[in-house]
């Protein structure tokens, strides 16, 4: 559920006043943290965000985009060279210029960009000042206390992300900063960690224990009569992106988020950090609008979209192709189901090695098309993790990444990382990583 302070913000309108102080410059950092055609939606979301920032006046040299860039020209893409973020929409790939692609889309480079560390990034970094607004948008898979990177690279951990935000504050790298995060369990990246007095306003697609949801999937993923079969966008992301496309120029952050909350019905959008400037124009962050306070008048009109659990998006993709009778689709679908069962067995073994009983209930619906595992003994809250707990958790995740089939580059595997978090929280000095390696041998 969103916070009480956010509810109070919705109850009153902000006055429309001229800004005080110097004119701000605006910067944007946009990240699609996955790869593979089945994750099409993340790069589509990111390119759409790029187009909005560019259209609304942020100079392209001040938009830093991380994108693996393997979707538009994938052999699986039935409309080669183009990417769409909604049915019968416009091509968001045209003119979408990534600063970092392929293996350069990494946690180390992302954090270096935020903190202005050009030596580590080896590319463009934020050169913002205390007079500038910074907007960060990140779309990806997530797990307790982490968000992923492509090609099974080391993920971005909540501890390190929040440390980077603190460093940015200490370096006077922003006046105000807005962070929109699309990922499963994304609330765990900020809950109990992000301070409320740092001029950082963060929203997440889900709370710390639930999935986020894709949208425009299956039979809805049609562009000019061609079914792309994969999800074209994410529910939370599409809500703010399409609102930004059509929003009244004086719309505030809080009004935009009120609409996103209404439209993201499958998960609970969260708001963290400093809400003191939530009455400011959304366009003063997502674009280069003059920095004035926006209106909050009347109810935000909501659009109804269906959602697909991001943990089942790959199954949805294969199901759509199988329904269309595409060669090999049903076999791929059945192989995916088998892999999910094997994954649950592996993590059950890891839990048992530490004396933890995990009830893994694999539920099949519709002839097995929507297999979802439900570990009953897990941890989603990383705010209380000590340094020792973080060391245990990071080592265990690295062991999965380096030793297990698919590593962590898989939505279903990531759904089980909460088991590792739970074991490390209970036994921070234990060698969970060794148990992972043994289970995946």
Catalytic center residues = 141, 184
CB 39 within 8 A of CB 182: no
Q: Which two tokens stand for residue 430?
A: 């234990």
Could you tell me the two tokens for 137?
A: 């948008």
Q: How many residues does the chain have?
A: 441
Tokens of 35: 């790869």
Strand 146-147 relative to strand 156-157, pairing:
antiparallel
Residue 129 Cα to chain centre, angstroms: 26
- Which residues have a Cβ under 8 Å from the Cβ of 30 and sit 6 or more positions away? 46, 49, 50, 53, 63, 64, 65, 66, 67, 136, 137, 138
Mapped onto helix, strand or coil, the DSSP state of residue 321 is: helix
Distance CA 254, CA 281 (A): 9
Contacts for 394-402: CB closer than 8 Å, 24+ residues apart: 394/157, 395/432, 395/433, 396/420, 396/423, 396/424, 396/432, 396/433, 396/435, 396/436, 397/146, 397/155, 398/154, 398/433, 399/432, 399/433, 399/434, 399/436, 399/437, 399/440, 400/436, 400/440, 401/152, 401/154
Question: Coil, strand or helix: which one is 184?
Answer: coil
């Amino acid at each position: 559920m969103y916070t009480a302070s956010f509810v109070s913000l919705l109850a009153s309108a902000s006055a429309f006043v001229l800004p005080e102080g110097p004119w701000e410059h605006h910067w944007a950092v946009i990240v699609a943290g996955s790869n593979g055609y089945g994750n099409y939606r993340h790069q589509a979301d990111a390119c759409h965000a790029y187009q909005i920032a560019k259209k609304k006046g942020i100079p392209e040299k001040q938009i830093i985009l991380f994108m693996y860039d393997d979707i538009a020209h994938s052999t699986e893409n039935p409309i080669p060279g183009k990417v769409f973020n909604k049915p019968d929409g416009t091509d968001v790939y045209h003119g979408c210029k990534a600063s970092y692609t392929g293996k350069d889309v990494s946690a180390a480079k992302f954090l270096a960009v935020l903190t202005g560390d050009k030596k580590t990034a080896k590319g463009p970094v934020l050169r913002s000042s205390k007079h500038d607004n910074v907007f960060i948008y990140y779309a990806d898979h997530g797990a307790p206390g982490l968000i992923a990177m492509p090609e099974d690279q080391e993920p971005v951990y909540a501890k390190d992300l929040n440390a980077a935000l603190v460093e940015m504050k200490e370096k006077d790298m922003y006046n105000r900063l807005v962070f929109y995060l699309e990922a499963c369990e994304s609330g765990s990246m900020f809950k109990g960690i992000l301070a409320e007095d740092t001029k950082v306003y963060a929203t997440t697609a889900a709370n710390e224990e639930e999935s986020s949801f894709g949208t425009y999937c299956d039979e809805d993923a049609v562009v000019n009569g061609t079914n792309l079969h994969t999800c074209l966008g994410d529910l939370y992301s599409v809500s703010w992106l399409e609102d930004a496309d059509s929003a009244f120029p004086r719309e505030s952050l809080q009004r935009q988020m009120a609409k996103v909350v209404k439209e993201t019905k499958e998960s609970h959008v969260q708001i963290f950090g400093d809400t003191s400037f939530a009455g400011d124009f959304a366009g003063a962050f997502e674009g280069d609008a003059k920095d004035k306070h926006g209106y909050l008048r009347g109810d935000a009109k909501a659009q109804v979209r269906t959602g697909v659990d991001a943990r089942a998006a790959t199954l949805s993709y294969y199901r759509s192709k199988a329904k269309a009778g595409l060669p090999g689709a049903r076999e791929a679908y059945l192989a995916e189901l088998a892999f999910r069962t094997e994954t649950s067995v592996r993590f059950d073994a890891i839990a048992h090695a530490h004396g933890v009983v995990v009830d893994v209930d694999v539920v099949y619906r519709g002839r097995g098309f929507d297999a979802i595992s439900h570990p009953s003994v897990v941890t989603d809250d990383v705010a209380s993790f000590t340094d020792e707990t973080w060391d245990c958790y990071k080592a265990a995740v690295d062991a999965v990444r380096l030793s297990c089939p698919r590593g962590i580059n898989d939505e279903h595997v990531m759904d089980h990382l909460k088991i590792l978090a739970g074991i490390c929280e209970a036994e921070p000095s234990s060698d969970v990583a060794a148990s992972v390696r043994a289970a995946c041998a």
